[in-house]
Amino acid sequence: MTLTVEHIAKQYGDHRVLNDISFEVPEGKVYVLVGTNGSGKTTLFNILTGFIAQDSGRVLLDGKSVDGLKPYRRQRKGLGRTFQDMRLVAGLTVKENVLLSFPSQRGELWWNTLLPSRKVKAEQQHNKELATRILMQCFINDVADSMAGEISYGQQKLLNLACCIAGATPVLLLDEPVAGVNPHYRELLTTVVKALRNEGRTLMIIEHNTDFIESVADRILFLNDGRIKAYESYNDFRNDSEVLDAYV
């Protein structure tokens, strides 16, 4: 599924945060969004996922507009995301957090909790097996029965990504997935992201870590002064005078 952004603009008072932002993230590609603090990266993610509205422009999935849809409806259309503040349920186990992330479960209906049918039981068993596969994919199945609030920060980052994967959306927006993690967990997160790309998922990632960016990015989008500039390689990005000036 392709994510297309057309002429997005956003202004707060006299400050124009985003100015005529346009780009397209093709299916099966990883685009990394970079920029200095306050450049509007999270604002753009919030617009794409429906948490705030743009002043003008359009957001499309495979050519169909998702403008005006609430976040949960955009997710149903195929657009999922993570957040900088990991929204895990600390009092549930790692596996329960993943199970909670599966969309449209029959077992969530109150009457199915009282008298679950064979279909509901079969779905629950399928979800348990799928949760195990996702936890294995994210290298945290060994802590499946641990409380989410008690595992390490790097493992929580992997769990955060696992929950996003469980949402079964073809387009994933990841907000600083490797921020603050040690090299071991950064390497694991890099492996998961590459595997998702190989599955054909479309990924857009906010990140500052240069090693991670260089490892996964098919294209780098630099947000500066409200505008986007694209780079085909990390070398092109880091040697651009506009980038160097922005980070001085």
**Any bridge partners for residue 25, and if so which?**
3
Reported as a pLDDT band with limits 50, 70 and 90, residue 110 is: very low
pLDDT at 111: 44
Whole-angstrom distance between the N-terminal and C-terminal Cα of the chain? 37
Kind plus residue range of the DSSP H or E element containing 80: strand 79-81
Contact 80, 87 (CB under 8 A): no
Distance CA 45, CA 82 (A): 10
Give 47: exposed, middle or buried? Use CB within 10 Å, 0-12, 13-18, 19+: buried
114 has pLDDT over 70: no
Please give the CATH number for the structural domain made up of 3-90+149-246. 3.40.50.300
Domain boundaries, the chain: 3-90+149-246
**pLDDT of 115 over the 90 cut:** no
Q: Is the pLDDT of residue 107 over 70?
A: no
Residue 40 falls in which region: left (phi positive, over 0), alpha (psi -120 to 50) or beta: left
pTM for the model: 0.89
Lowest pLDDT segment from 80-89, 104-113, 121-130, 229-238: 104-113
Residue burial 97-122, b: 16+ Cβ < 10 Å; e: rest: bbbebbeeeebeeeebeeebeeebee
pLDDT above 90 as % of the chain: 79
